[in-house]
Amino acid sequence: MDVARTIFSNKGYHATSIDDIIEAAGIARGTFYLYFESKRAIFDELLDELFARLASVVRRIEVGPTAAPPEEQLHGIVERVMETLQQNRELARILLREAVGIDSDFDRKLSDFWGRLRGLIESAIRNGQAMGLVRPCDPSVVAHCILGAVKEVVFWVFIEHRASPSVRDQKQAPPDLTLLGKEMIAFTLTGLFTR
Amino acid sequence: MDVARTIFSNKGYHATSIDDIIEAAGIARGTFYLYFESKRAIFDELLDELFARLASVVRRIEVGPTAAPPEEQLHGIVERVMETLQQNRELARILLREAVGIDSDFDRKLSDFWGRLRGLIESAIRNGQAMGLVRPCDPSVVAHCILGAVKEVVFWVFIEHRASPSVRDQKQAPPDLTLLGKEMIAFTLTGLFTR
Amino acid sequence: MDVARTIFSNKGYHATSIDDIIEAAGIARGTFYLYFESKRAIFDELLDELFARLASVVRRIEVGPTAAPPEEQLHGIVERVMETLQQNRELARILLREAVGIDSDFDRKLSDFWGRLRGLIESAIRNGQAMGLVRPCDPSVVAHCILGAVKEVVFWVFIEHRASPSVRDQKQAPPDLTLLGKEMIAFTLTGLFTR
Amino acid sequence: MDVARTIFSNKGYHATSIDDIIEAAGIARGTFYLYFESKRAIFDELLDELFARLASVVRRIEVGPTAAPPEEQLHGIVERVMETLQQNRELARILLREAVGIDSDFDRKLSDFWGRLRGLIESAIRNGQAMGLVRPCDPSVVAHCILGAVKEVVFWVFIEHRASPSVRDQKQAPPDLTLLGKEMIAFTLTGLFTR
DNA sequence: TATGAATGAGCGTTCATTCAT
DNA sequence: CATGAATGAACGCTCATTCAT
């Protein structure tokens, strides 16, 4: 799986052949099929890995007398997600770049994953609105905005940067993780305008 | 091209075969190659179509005594982009879902397209900051956020909705376009917090 | 036909497409098929051209009181053949390089052509033997030897030389035609040994 | 390879399809590509086989006090070459009939092979001249003559004969190998004229 | 538990030929 | 007399998967 992860990450699902994997893993063709049902199956397993890791790190924001302040919880989640992705760059790369158009089953799985995430964001927004913290807005639309923003930034920082050892983006090195998280949260919470 | 657009949109690049296209178009294999150099070529042509349409619709935000207020210009751009995508759902679907991992040349092309878009957003932010309209922030990070937010919402509204005639998302029909644009701009400019 | 001759000569039968020919000739696809039944047919016609030219130049060696001395006649034939080939390098190139393995019909045609030539040589040998000029030998075998020798030399001088502007054969430029003919006749008549 | 050899020999390179080979061999398409990189590759391998066999049989003619008489060595080489070709009729057929116009790489390979052979003949001639055995002549031209003669005779005896089970050449059965070799050497050394 | 030879459906592409205009 | 859009059989090749050993 280590080998497959790396190769899928570098070449994408379609461009990766079983041959690539078994050769890099130093095993025989048959051995591969002893442990994985198909090319699809190992890809599935790989992404499930990341799903599980992310799920263990993203928690619903608690409200209540004993809970930490929501903004602090938010910070925590963002930081932990960023760290998880950082530590699983290859999987993240796969998730964000290639995991679409493989299969309608797979597409559904993916869409479910993002849907669950979006649901969390949405309910946080609704809670915030109920508490008067969040301005009136369409929670569904805004949840999409937030998820999209995070995906794009993560893809940029963890994934695209790796791929371009060229001069292009050299001058503007990616900000460090904590800073990045702060910037994103600030944008999400207060937008662009000066107050 | 109409036929190819539809099929690529539904099945994705890899899952679409020349056979699918010519059969649906009711032409012979040779006829296809009379008009398109290769499978890649027709795909290229298709996306270039959308690129051109979007390019003609997205304009740099002007500042100056004679220019319209920036917020109004922004509204215009968003509205026109939304309309263009609405009218080219299939191409949009291809662009946002499948156009990665086909080819390193193609990946570069795509990444250039998004980069150009991001550049426009970034320079708008810098201008806003110079004018004191936009709060201090990292324009690059925030440009990514905005682009990501737009991509996600567009994908959701124009593309995913179409694909799921199931019950799942039935209850929350997508808001109409103008409303949607307003919501996005509001989020982008003022964030979540009540002021 | 001029165009086809050149292209067939340069690229060979298989590597030449109808497209190559019509494009170079500046005519339409249909026009080609108006004048030639098929790719095979034009190739046929082209070689028939050369066959006719060579046939008009190669004559049975006459013996009799009024005839010129056989050796002189031989010289004449060789010189005329060489000249004809020299003037039809492209056709010669086609004949000697590519005209095999196209078609079993074509192969037969070719083999007939060479057979006729060989027949002439063979009968000349038999005549020579009858006149006591030629030593006892198997006329058939020797006719093959002579034909092969001529083919190889002609191919070398008229055809391969053209194709290699490289340094390889630079130092040994091909001898002039008359010299070459003399050398070949000398070899054929007296062999290698010093007498 | 046995199967491919036979089919290439009968139909020529271009007219032979992978399908022909795998069907005759009773293997699957994929199996073919398991053992051979491409159609070109198996053809290459096949001819390399013959090149190797011929190379092991053709040796430079030695001169010196301990060496056998040159004429005897010549006889030996010719006999061994004829035997090798006799035993590899199919490969010989391929080599002499079809192996041109496949590929510029291939053409070069072939031309190198013939060039090496010609080089041997040429140097033998030069040696013979140095020793006063061979009359003054252009070694290059004569080497071409000899090579051509041999090719033609070999093609005739081993290859064309096989291909025509018709009545045509029936009456003049090919002389036996040793006789044939003697005839060719005699022609080469003493030519046609009675001495 | 591991192997790797064998499979064959399927792919993208070519190109000689036809025929309505 | 000329056109060129249309054809479709055929090709070389790939690669996920199987299964006897």
Say if CB A145 and CB B149 are below 8 A apart: yes
pTM confidence score: 0.86
Encode pLDDT of D162-194 as tens digits: 555 554 444 455 568 888 999 999 999 988 777
Q: What is the structure's pLDDT at A173?
A: 56
How far is Cα C2 from Cα A162, in angstroms, rounded to an integer?
58
Q: What is the DSSP string of chain B?
A: -HHHHHHHHHHHHHH--HHHHHHHHT--HHHHHHH-S-HHHHHHHHHHHHHHHHHTT--PPP-STTSPPHHHHHHHHHHHHHHHHHHTHHHHHHHHHT-SSS-HHHHHHHHHHHHHHHHHHHHHHHHHHHTT-B-S--HHHHHHHHHHHHHHHHIIIIIIHHH--SSTTTSSPPPPHHHHHHHHHHHHHH-SB--
pLDDT at B138: 94
As a whole-number percent, the residues of chain A with pLDDT over 70 amount to 91
Average pLDDT over every residue of B30-59: 93
Of A145, A150, A180, the CB nearest to B187: A145
pLDDT at D99: 62
Footprint of strand E on the protein (CB under 7 A): A 27-31, 33-34; B 16-19, 29-30, 33, 38-40; C 16-19, 29-30, 33, 38-40; D 27-31, 33-35
Domains in chain C and their CATH numbers? 43-190 (1.10.357.10)
Range with lowest mean pLDDT among A7-11, A100-104, B4-8, D106-110 = A100-104
Q: CB A12 to CB B101 under 8 A?
A: yes
- What per-residue confidence (pLDDT) applies to D40? 95
Q: Is D176's Cβ below 8 Å from some Cβ in C?
A: no
Q: Quick one: closest CA in C to D122, which residue?
A: C192
Q: Which chain B residues are within 8 Å of A137, Cβ to Cβ?
A: 183, 186-187, 192
Residue pLDDT, tens place only, A73-90:
888 888 898 889 888 988
Let me know: does D121 contact D146? Beta carbons within 8 Å: yes
| Helices and strands of chain D, counted as H and E runs | 10, 0
pLDDT value at position D173? 56
Higher pLDDT residue, D118 or B98?
D118
A104 touches chain B (CB under 8 A): no
Contacts of residue A72, Cβ cutoff 8 Å, sequence gap at least 6: none
CB spacing of A187 vs B145 below 8 angstroms: yes
The share of chain B scoring above pLDDT 90, in percent, equals 52
Range B177-189 average pLDDT = 91
Identify the residue whose Cα has the smallest distance to the C1' of E11.
B17
Of B111-115, C156-160, D29-33, D40-44, the range with the lowest mean pLDDT is C156-160
D138 touches chain C (CB under 8 A): yes
* Amino acid letter for position A123: S
Q: How confident is the model over D88-135, as pLDDT tens digits?
A: 989 998 888 776 778 888 888 888 999 999 999 999 999 989 988 899
Residue-wise pLDDT for D156-169, tens only, equals: 888 776 555 554 44
pLDDT by 10s per residue, chain C, length 195: 999 999 999 888 999 999 999 999 999 999 999 999 999 999 999 999 999 999 899 888 888 888 888 888 888 888 898 889 888 988 888 888 876 778 888 888 888 899 999 999 999 999 989 988 899 999 999 999 999 999 999 988 887 765 555 544 444 555 688 889 999 999 999 887 776
Residue contacts between A and B (CB atoms, under 8 Å): 141
The beta-carbon neighbor of C12 closest among D101, D111, D192 is D101
Confirm or reject contact between C194 and chain D (CB < 8 A). Answer: yes
* Nucleotide minimizing C1' to CA distance for residue A15: F15
Task: Give yes or no for a contact between A161 and A86, defined as CB atoms under 8 angstroms apart.
Answer: no
pLDDT for residue A171: 47
Q: Which of residues 6-25 of D touch C (CB under 8 A)?
A: 12-15
- Give the per-residue pLDDT at D102: 82
Which of B173, B111, B178 has the alpha carbon at shortest distance from B147?
Answer: B111
**How is residue D173 annotated by DSSP?**
P
Nearest chain C residue to D172, by CA? C140
Give the mean model confidence (pLDDT) for residues D14-34.
Answer: 96
Degrees to nearest 5, angle at CA A97 with A93 and A101: 135
Helix orientation angle between D139-154 and D177-190, rounded to the nearest 10 degrees: 160
pLDDT tens by residue, A118-135: 999 999 999 989 988 899
